[in-house]
């Protein structure tokens, strides 16, 4: 598997991580890798085989940029601060677009990412990554100080056959004494699959499925979406230069929403990898970054508000000039609320559970059905079409 795709073997990742401060955790078989630079989970593997493939996407140039303070898109799992775009709902405030609402002026401020993280290993949590960021809010020009804290706890469940699994519990906190409008924003990048072996993203829904689509660059998504009785499946194939963003609306998502990714592991006859991101503590209508559309561009699906239940995902097709061939799951945290212990400080929190699993197709489908509390096995492109 060429590393140019952003899918590293464990041996390749270890070679690049020798150049930077990093931490390795044995999760009862699966291995998880974190870096102090950027405060990231940068890799997770089913075992200690150096030829095993990373379940996360990383920049193909990781060895060159791992400690570069000017380069943010290293891959893996990270924490950011929203809002991003500068929509009306948040008063046009944005920490990314120099001209609010104009994505062509997007930039990532170094104080946020890669930041200057410190790391502490312990028993509870297992790992804490902290960063103090001073960044600008571009609409007003105000500069604010934020404390970013990532607390990671690993599940103690042993790997079970025929499915190997790793449970990771996260508590992401963004705090500030001066900023009014901000939210913790958790983002996790993973491979998209390809045309012969596409990836599938799965959302649950309760009644009428509704997805918001925005940032789409002219791709007809009709054939990329399948609606079933209690879930929506979306194809990601990593073969098109495009960008789109999808999210369930508040009214259609289940009480405890989730996003599931399933794809075939390259080079293996019957080995599939599943990633689940879920939370029992999701914000309702207090999401700041909520671009809206009048109607969905996917025929048969109504439009609505993006991210009212916290979850969405972004698909990026490959670009000849950038490291973009990945899919990204996102979870937006709570509206900032007063800290119980520190006067004048407000906290935004994103709390939840990541689960990575590896196993044969039938076992993965059954696990997805159980985890998503679905009435049937989920529809997976290239598997049970």
* pLDDT value, residue 312: 66
pLDDT in tens, 82-135: 888 776 666 778 899 898 878 789 999 999 999 999 999 987 789 999 999 999
Give the per-residue pLDDT at 207. Answer: 61
135 beta partners: 144
* Neighbouring residues of 187: CB distance < 8 A, sequence distance ≥ 6: 77, 78, 79, 80, 328, 329, 330
> Which pLDDT tens digit goes with each residue over 167-199?
999 999 999 999 888 889 899 999 888 778 889
In terms of DSSP bridges, do strands 326-332 and 337-338 run parallel, antiparallel, or are they unpaired?
unpaired
Place of tokens 């609010």: 100
CB 356 within 8 A of CB 30: yes
Could you tell me the two tokens for 167? 């449970």
Position 63 pLDDT exceeds 70 = yes
All structural domains of the chain with their residue ranges: 3-371
Token readout for 361 is 């197709």
Q: 132 - beta bridge partners?
A: 147
Determine how many CB atoms are found less than 10 A away from the CB of residue 125.
Answer: 17
Q: What are phi and psi of 90, to 5 degrees?
A: -105, 25
The first and second tokens of residue 286, run together, are 């207090």
Beta-carbon count within 10 A of 232 CB: 23
Secondary structure letter of residue 224 according to DSSP? G
Tokens found for residue 96: 């990314």
Asked whether 268 and 261 are in contact (CB, 8 A), the reply is no
Which has more pLDDT, 325 or 212?
325
Q: What CA–CA distances, in Å, run from 7 to 52, 58, 383?
A: 10, 7, 21
Candidates 327, 275, 326, 283; CA nearest to 307 is 283
Residue 104: predicted pLDDT: 86
Q: Is the pLDDT of residue 251 over 80?
A: no
Identify the weakest region by mean pLDDT among 1-10, 58-67, 145-154: 1-10
Q: Is the pLDDT of residue 320 over 80?
A: no
Higher pLDDT, 52 or 384: 52
Percent of the chain with pLDDT over 70: 77
Query: What pLDDT is attached to residue 215?
Result: 59
Q: What pLDDT is attached to residue 363? A: 95
Write the pLDDT tens digit of every residue in 264-297.
Answer: 998 888 899 999 988 766 544 444 444 443 334 3
Tokens describing residue 28? 């009862």
The fold adopted by the segment(s) 3-371 is Beta-galactosidase; Chain A, domain 5 (2.70.98)
The CA distance from 35 to 118, in Å, is: 10
Q: Is the peptide bond before 87 cis (omega within 30 degrees of 0)?
A: no
pTM of the model: 0.89
The per-residue pLDDT for 282 is 54
Helix, strand, coil percentages (3-state) for the chain, rounded to 5, are: 10, 40, 50
């Amino acid at each position: 598997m060429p590393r140019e795709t952003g899918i590293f073997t464990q041996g390749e990742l270890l070679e690049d991580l020798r150049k930077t401060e990093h931490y390795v955790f044995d999760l009862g078989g699966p291995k998880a890798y974190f870096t102090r630079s950027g405060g990231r989970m940068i890799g997770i593997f089913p075992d200690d085989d150096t030829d095993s493939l990373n379940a996360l996407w990383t920049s193909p140039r990781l060895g060159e940029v791992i400690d570069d303070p000017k380069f943010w898109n290293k891959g893996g799992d990270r924490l950011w601060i929203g809002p991003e775009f500068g929509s009306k709902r948040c008063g046009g405030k944005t920490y990314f677009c120099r001209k609010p609402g104009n994505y062509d002026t997007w930039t990532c401020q170094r104080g946020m990412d890669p930041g200057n993280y410190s790391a502490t290993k312990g028993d509870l949590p297992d790992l804490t990554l902290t960063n103090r960021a001073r960044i600008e809010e571009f609409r007003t020009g105000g500069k604010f100080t934020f404390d970013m804290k990532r607390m990671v706890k690993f599940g103690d469940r042993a790997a079970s056959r025929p499915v190997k699994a790793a449970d990771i519990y996260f508590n992401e906190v963004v705090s500030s004494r001066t900023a009014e409008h901000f939210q913790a924003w958790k983002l996790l990048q993973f491979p998209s699959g390809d045309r012969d072996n596409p990836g599938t993203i799965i959302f649950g829904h309760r009644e009428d499925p509704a997805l918001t689509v925005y940032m789409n660059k002219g791709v007809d998504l009709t054939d990329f979406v399948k609606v079933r009785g209690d879930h929506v499946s979306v194809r990601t194939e990593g073969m098109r230069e495009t960008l789109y963003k999808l999210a369930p609306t508040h009214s259609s998502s289940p009480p405890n929403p989730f996003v599931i990714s399933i794809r075939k592991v390259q080079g293996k006859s019957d080995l599939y990898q599943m990633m689940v991101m879920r939370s029992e503590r999701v914000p309702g209508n207090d999401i700041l970054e909520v671009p809206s559309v009048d109607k969905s561009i996917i025929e048969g699906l109504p439009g609505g508000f993006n991210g009212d239940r916290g979850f969405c995902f972004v698909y990026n097709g490959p670009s000849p000039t950038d490291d973009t061939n990945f899919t990204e799951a996102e979870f937006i945290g709570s509206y900032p609320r007063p800290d119980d212990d520190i006067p004048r400080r407000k906290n935004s929190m994103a709390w939840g559970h990541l689960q990575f699993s590896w196993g044969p197709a039938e076992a993965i489908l059954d696990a997805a059905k159980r985890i998503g509390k679905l009435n049937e096995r989920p529809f997976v492109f290239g598997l049970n079409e």
